[in-house]
């Protein structure tokens, strides 16, 4: 039995859990100034780089929290994949991410699939997944037409 009925509920709950875990353990920096400010917030000098771990996308976490962070991310991704075995949930996931990445404007699926940790090959090889995507696209584009 699924813990969450639809994709938006799952990602909202996962986001809350992620934010609770990373509160005061994570900062983002895209400039040297932002990096120095983040290190100061951690009580570290800018050259204490051995005490932080870069998680990608400009994010830094305390090194002693890196393993727990990686385990959390892995568990959340597994939870998402488990839910996506359910057709209705999968369809809601496709619909949400199509809208989130403005498919009605771009007609590009790359960002939608990336957000769901899927590839074109995976979707095309799985008839259920392919059907869920086609139905979600059709409903989403119909919603866009009705809105205009």
- What pLDDT, in 10s, does the model give residues 86-123? 999 999 999 999 999 999 999 999 999 999 989 999 99
In angstroms, rounded to a whole number, what is the distance separating the alpha carbons of residues 109 and 129? Answer: 14
- What pLDDT, in 10s, does the model give residues 45-77? 999 999 999 999 999 999 999 999 999 999 999
Q: Which tokens go with 69?
A: 């962070």
Q: Which tokens go with 56?
A: 């990608």
Query: pTM value?
Result: 0.81
Is residue 31 within 8 Å of 25, Cβ to Cβ? Answer: no
For residue 134, which of 123, 119, 121, 118 has the smallest C-alpha distance? 123
């Amino acid at each position: 039995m699924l813990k969450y009925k639809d994709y938006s509920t799952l990602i909202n709950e996962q986001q809350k859990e992620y934010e609770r875990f990373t509160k005061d353990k994570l900062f983002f920096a895209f400039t040297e100034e932002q990096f120095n400010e983040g290190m100061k917030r951690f009580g570290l000098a800018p050259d204490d780089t051995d005490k932080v771990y870069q998680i990608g996308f400009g994010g830094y976490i305390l090194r002693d929290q890196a393993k727990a962070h990686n385990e959390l991310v892995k568990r959340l991704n597994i939870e998402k994949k488990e839910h996506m075995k359910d057709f209705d949930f999968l369809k809601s996931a496709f619909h949400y991410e199509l809208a989130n990445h403005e498919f009605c404007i771009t007609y590009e699926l790359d960002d939608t699939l990336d957000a769901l940790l899927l590839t074109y090959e995976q979707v095309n090889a799985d008839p259920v997944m392919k059907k869920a995507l086609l139905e979600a696209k059709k409903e989403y584009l119909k919603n866009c037409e009705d809105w205009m």
